[in-house]
Chain A
Amino acid sequence: DIQMTQSPSSLSASIGDTVTITCRASQGIREALGWYQQQPGKAPRRLIYSASSLQSGAPVRFRGIGSGTEFTLIINNLQPEDLATYYCLQYRSYPWTFGQGTRLEIK
């Protein structure tokens, strides 16, 4: 199975900050990666697919970069509604696997 290692596991940032979350795959997955946001008590929501494509309706302050084994989610101009846990998901090979999640708190 491909292991997805996310870092950090949690972070705290202020409104207007830029935040970076990283996912590392245990083997190359090309660009078969998505980023998901899960706000407290809600279902996950896709933000990014194919590593860097913005989901329709997602705010443009979310950006995904990377390919192969290293991927990054960048959140610019942090907003209060960005309080959530973020997950990466690889779908290059079965079983699909998620990162362990990054909990983002707003200072």
Chain B
Amino acid sequence: VQLVQSGGEVKKPGASVRVSCRTSGYSFDSYGITWVRQAPGQGLEWMGWSTYNGQTNTAQRFLGRLTMTTDTSSSTAHMDLKSLTSADTAVYYCARVNVYLDTEDVISVADIWGQGSLVTVSS
């Protein structure tokens, strides 16, 4: 089981960024992907999750700025964050998650992680 993320990005304030998470070694449509970020020298912050069928749960502070999608044909999840500011400079991680789609209750959280993608926002 592996999650391999796209490379680092440098963006200007106001721009958007996409981070991709390619999965392998398991059935993509049996799990979802959650996103967690870590600002330099700081702790971990949960952002949200998405499942193979397009269902999502987004942390309120990211509503309107964060879009999470999945591509079942390539077993890849994508995270798009727009209207970037310097406060969005962080390492972004994807991790595998399993939830009941009807209740959104958790079965398993973040057992496998990607290697992280550094997003730097700077003018």
The interface of chain A, by Cβ under 8 A from chain B, is 32, 34, 36, 38, 43-46, 49, 55, 87, 89, 91, 94-101
For the complex formed, measure the closest distance between the CB of A82 and the CB atoms of chain B, giving whole angstroms. 18
Cβ A34 vs Cβ B93 within 8 A: no
User: Contact between B57 and A44 (Cβ–Cβ < 8 Å)?
Assistant: no
Query: Interface of B with A (CB < 8 Å)?
Result: 34, 36, 43-46, 57, 59-60, 93, 95, 104, 106, 108-111, 113-116
Q: CB-CB < 8 A to B57: which residues of A? A: 94
Chain B proximity of A69: nearest CB distance (Å): 18
| Interface residues of B, dominant DSSP | strand
CA distance A19 to B18 in the complex (A): 40
A55's contact among B104, B106, B111, by CB below 8 Å, is which? B111
Asked if B60 and A95 sit within 8 Å, CB to CB, the answer is yes
Question: Within 8 Å CB of A98, what residues of B?
Answer: 43-46
- Given the known interface contacts A43-B113, A98-B44, A98-B46, the answer about A49 and B108 at a Cβ–Cβ threshold of 8 Å is yes
Q: Is the CB of B116 within 8 A of A46?
A: no
Residues on B with C-beta less than 8 A from A97 are 46
User: Chain A contacts of B59 at CB under 8 A?
Assistant: 94-95
The 6 A-B residue pairs with the shortest CB-CB distance in the complex, in nearest-first order = A96-B46, A95-B59, A43-B113, A98-B44, A91-B106, A101-B43
B46–A44 touching, CB < 8 Å:
no
Interface centre among A89, A95, A96 (most CB of B within 10 A): A96
Chain B residues with CB under 8 Å of A43's CB are: 93, 113-116
Bound CA span A99–B93, Å: 17
